């Protein structure tokens, strides 16, 4: 059995101040950071003891890479013999030296560019350094009206093997995008409409709860971040008996980390080998650097 895990601990602080984000410039107390580090260490220890292959994506509310315990966890997890992939969502604001200790065949970064917080030149330079090091990564943006030209400029300047994905602006009013704007965005990210106009999810077959789960800092396991029903706990093993094929109970799923696991959508095929880090399979097959560890696509 291969298990993919989406881990979201207590961390909620972020060093950026994006106007659309509820976690902008929030701060965790020292006690909260200490508890988050303890929780994460426990999770890493558990992962190191598992006989099954694992893939792990960290999806913190805040920015994880500014915290040493997340960098250390990524390095250690990447070195586990049975781990297939470890990735984290990040604004890519930190230096690169910590990557020297990681197994780059297994580590990947899901990066987001925020034009109001960092210059394009500085961000692209970091992406070029990732490419030079052979670090598999994707880059994304929120497709706000004021950033459409910036999106196209970024797509021209990123390294050739760096995919650019786009999320629709969550707080958009009806009719926010016209047909010409949608066409511009789809020319950059052919999967943009899945985020813009999510297909109905209720009853759709999904890998979450079968071989994809969500885990919080206490080890509580749910099928995904968007379904509250608990499956059990990671550390007493009670979740394992409840893993089985399931249909989505929600009317709609509009977040990639949810709908990417639906069996009736193309992501398990189109992103085979890079679903967690949001890297399309055609990029993985053509990119230089370490060869990706194989991951099986869903049937």
Provide the pLDDT confidence category of residue 296 given band limits of 50, 70 and 90. very low
- Take residue 61 and report the two structure tokens written for it: 């509310």
Task: Reply yes or no on whether the pLDDT at 166 is more than 80.
Answer: yes
Domain range spanning residue 181? 3-286
118 found inside a domain: yes
76-100 average pLDDT score: 97
CATH number at residue 44: 3.20.20
Task: Reply yes or no on whether the pLDDT at 152 is more than 70.
Answer: yes
Give the CA distances from residue 118 to residues 16, 79, 91, 192, in Å, rounded to whole numbers and listed in that order: 9, 32, 10, 24
pLDDT at 20: 73
Q: Per-residue pLDDT tens for 239-289? A: 999 999 999 999 999 999 999 999 999 999 999 999 999 999 876 555 444
pLDDT at 154: 98
pLDDT at 57: 98
- Least confident stretch, 21-25, 87-91, 255-259, 293-297: 293-297
* Pairing assessment for the beta strands 136-143 and 212-216 based on DSSP bridges: unpaired
Task: Reply yes or no on whether the pLDDT at 27 is more than 90.
Answer: no
Q: How many structural domains is the chain composed of?
A: 1
91 found inside a domain: yes
297 found inside a domain: no
83-92 average pLDDT score: 97
pLDDT at 108: 98
233 found inside a domain: yes
294 found inside a domain: no
User: Among 195, 249, 262, which residue's Cα sits nearest to residue 222?
Assistant: 249
Q: Per-residue pLDDT tens for 216-250? A: 999 999 999 999 999 999 999 999 999 999 999 99
This prediction's pTM: 0.92
Average pLDDT of the chain to the nearest whole number: 92
Provide the pLDDT confidence category of residue 22 given band limits of 50, 70 and 90. low
Integer Cα distance of 9 and 146 in angstroms? 33
- Yes or no: say if 135 and 109 are a contact pair by the CB < 8 Å rule: yes
130 found inside a domain: yes
HEC string for the chain: CCEEEEEECCCCCCCCCCCCCCCCCCCCCHHHHHHHHHHHHHHHHHHHCCCCCEEEEECCCCCCCCCHHHHHHHHHHHCCCCEEEEEEEECCCCCCHHHHHCCCCCEEEEEECCCCCCCHHHHHHHHHHHHHHCCEEEEEEEECHHHHHHHHHHHHHCCCCCCEEEEECCCCCCCCCCHHHHHHHHHHCCCHHHHHCCCECCCCEECECCCEEEEECCCEEEEECCEEEEEEECCCCCCHHHCCCEECCCCECCCHHHHCCECCCCHHHHCCCCCCCCCCHHHHHHCCCCCCCCCCCCC
- Yes or no: say if 257 and 88 are a contact pair by the CB < 8 Å rule: no
* Pairing assessment for the beta strands 212-216 and 220-224 based on DSSP bridges: antiparallel
Integer Cα distance of 8 and 16 in angstroms? 19
298 found inside a domain: no
17 found inside a domain: yes
Q: Per-residue pLDDT tens for 171-206? A: 999 999 999 999 999 999 999 999 999 999 999 999
139-159 average pLDDT score: 97
């Amino acid at each position: 059995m291969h298990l993919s895990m989406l881990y979201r601990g207590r961390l909620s602080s972020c060093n950026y101040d994006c106007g659309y984000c509820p976690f902008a410039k929030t701060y965790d107390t020292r006690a909260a950071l200490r508890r988050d580090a303890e929780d994460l260490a426990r999770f890493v220890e558990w992962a190191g003891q598992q006989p099954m292959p694992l893939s792990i994506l960290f999806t913190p509310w805040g920015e994880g890479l500014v915290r040493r315990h997340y960098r250390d966890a990524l390095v250690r997890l990447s070195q586990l013999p049975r781990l297939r992939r470890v990735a984290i969502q990040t604004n890519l604001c930190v230096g690169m030296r910590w990557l020297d200790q990681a197994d780059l065949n297994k580590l990947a970064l899901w990066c987001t560019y925020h034009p109001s917080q960092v210059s394009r030149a500085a961000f692209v330079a970091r992406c070029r350094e990732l490419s030079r090091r052979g670090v598999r990564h994707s880059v994304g943006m929120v497709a706000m009206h004021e950033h459409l030209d910036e999106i196209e400029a970024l797509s021209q300047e990123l390294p050739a093997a760096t995919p650019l994905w786009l999320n629709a602006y969550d707080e958009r009013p009806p009719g926010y995008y016209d047909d010409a704007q949608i066409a511009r965005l789809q020319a950059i990210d052919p999967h943009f409409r899945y985020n813009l106009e999510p297909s109905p999810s209720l009853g759709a077959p999904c890998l979450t709860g079968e071989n994809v789960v969500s885990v919080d800092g206490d080890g509580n396991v749910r099928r995904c971040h968007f379904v509250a029903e608990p499956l059990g706990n990671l550390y007493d093993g009670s979740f394992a008996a409840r893993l089985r094929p399931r249909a989505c109970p929600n009317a709609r799923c509009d977040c990639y980390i949810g709908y990417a696991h639906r069996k009736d959508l193309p992501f398990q095929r189109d992103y085979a080998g890079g679903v967690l880090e949001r890297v399309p399979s055609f990029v993985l097959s053509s990119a230089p650097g370490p060869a990706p560890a194989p991951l099986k696509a869903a049937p």
